[in-house]
Amino acid sequence: MENVASQHARVLSGMRPTGRLHLGHYHGVLKNWVELQHEYQCFFFVADWHALTTHYEDPSIIPDSVWDMVVDWLAAGVNPGEATLFIQSRVPEHAELHLLLSMLTPLGWLERAPSYKDQQEKLKEKDLATYGFLGYPLLQAADILIYRAGLVPVGEDQVAHVELTREIARRFNHMYGREPDFETRAEEAMKKMGKKNARLYANYRKAYQEQGDDDALAAARALLESQQNINLGDRDRLFGYLEGGSKVILPEPQALLTKVSKMPGLDGQKMSKSYGNTIPLNAKSDELEQQLRTMPTDPARVRRTDPGDPGKCPVWEFHEVYSDESVKTWVTEGCRSAGIGCIECKQPVIDAVLAELKPIQERAAEYENDPDLVRNIINEGCEKARDEARDTMEEVRHVMSLEYR
């Protein structure tokens, strides 16, 4: 049943523009986005304001990073025909929602966000005792809530931010979702769905409220999502009526935890720019081949005749990502018995990495040769995102009594 609700859910995720992407991003994030775009309505954005929270002293690298990153997304197979791609700062409504949410956000919620202390520790060379940095999880909450996204694909380190987003949404709905004649209006809204759907909704609501039936809640939400003939206000009322006595203006999103990427770097540690062990998506084939060929192996295999242990070898980590069972058996047996040499062992990995990068690089070249195309894709995405964001802000302003103009 869970699926019924999520089928209609909107997916939103953002990435900071930090330069060219590498295979770690591809396996950890982009492949997942590419799959999600077929199943959901997806919004993916370049979090350039987020980059400023840590790079405010030298923002000049951000613009190139923005365009490089978009090219890498497209090259990886993110399809602008299926997903909406945009840049955060081109939808200034994010900033307005951030400001309005800041009014009701207890300082403690931000001070307690794990990233606040962690990142300050990690990025010691930067002064992150700023207002913008403290508020960045709230900006993230605004990013998510402004699209009323249901699912937010993120890594482990971002789950706390989605949790914060939920708490903010709850607080907001509780404060501003109250209407004196809420029940009457909800009942009227129900009728507008038509007899059959109204009855379905009422039954699901009853099952949820009386028996705590979560499947019924999910089904009721899915039903509401699919309604064409009720307006946004009525839909929000009916979402709220399912669970309690206030309108749901900003629905609570759910984190969609991305499986931890096992992508190893060239030294066997996790692939990461800070370790200098990455394989960029635009790596040149001959250099990359050379790098993989000279990659460290089990240090115990000094001579070709010394047996080795794949468990102690970074190359094995690559086989885990790229090789099928028969190749893996060939490696473990050949390594432990010194039946194969390390160069031989690396060949299937080299072939697999190059084969994976080939179509990515071909697509990247197409977009790099046509910067206008990339600009147009983003322009269109920004327009579409902005329309959605404007709708939400209209309602937010309304419930916050900000309509005098």
The binding site for ligand TRP (CB under 6 A) comprises 12-14, 16, 47, 50, 140, 143-144, 152, 154, 158
DSSP 259-317: PPP--B-TTSSBP-GGGT---BTT--HHHHHHHHHT----TT--STTS---GGG-HHHH
The pattern of x and - marking residues 247 through 266 that bind ligand SF4 according to CB under 6 A reads --------------------
Among candidates 226, 278, 202, 242, which has minimal Cα distance to 22? 278
Which CB atom, from 329 or from 376, has the smaller least distance to ligand SF4?
A: 329
Among candidates 112, 95, 6, which has minimal Cα distance to 47? 95
The pattern of x and - marking residues 296 through 315 that bind ligand SF4 according to CB under 6 A reads -xx--x------x-x--x-x
Which CB atom, from 260 or from 343, has the smaller least distance to ligand SF4?
A: 343
**Quick one: which of 345, 357, 377, 389 contacts ligand SF4 (CB under 6 A)?**
345
- Give me the long-range contacts of 180-188 (CB less than 8 A, separation at least 24): 182/237, 182/240, 182/241, 182/245, 182/246, 182/247, 183/241, 183/245, 185/234, 185/237, 186/237, 186/238, 186/240, 186/241
Least separation in angstroms between CB 85 and ligand TRP? 14
Least separation in angstroms between CB 209 and ligand TRP? 31
Q: Does 145 bind ligand SF4 (CB under 6 A)?
A: no
Rounded CA gap, 242 and 220, in Å?
A: 8
Beginning with the edge strand found earlier in the chain, give each strand of the sheet holding 83-87 in spatial order: 83-87, 41-46, 10-15, 151-154, 254-257
CB 86 within 8 A of CB 46: yes
Q: What does 331 interact with, of ligand TRP, ligand SF4, none (CB < 5 to 8 A by kind)?
A: ligand SF4
Least separation in angstroms between CB 260 and ligand SF4? 22
Least separation in angstroms between CB 277 and ligand SF4? 16
Determine the interface stretch with ligand SF4 among 11-19, 67-75, 201-209, 334-342 (rule: CB under 6 A).
Answer: 334-342
Which CB atom, from 109 or from 330, has the smaller least distance to ligand SF4?
A: 330
Where do contacts with ligand SF4 occur on this chain (CB under 6 A)?
297-298, 301, 308, 310, 313, 315-316, 331, 335, 340, 342, 345-346
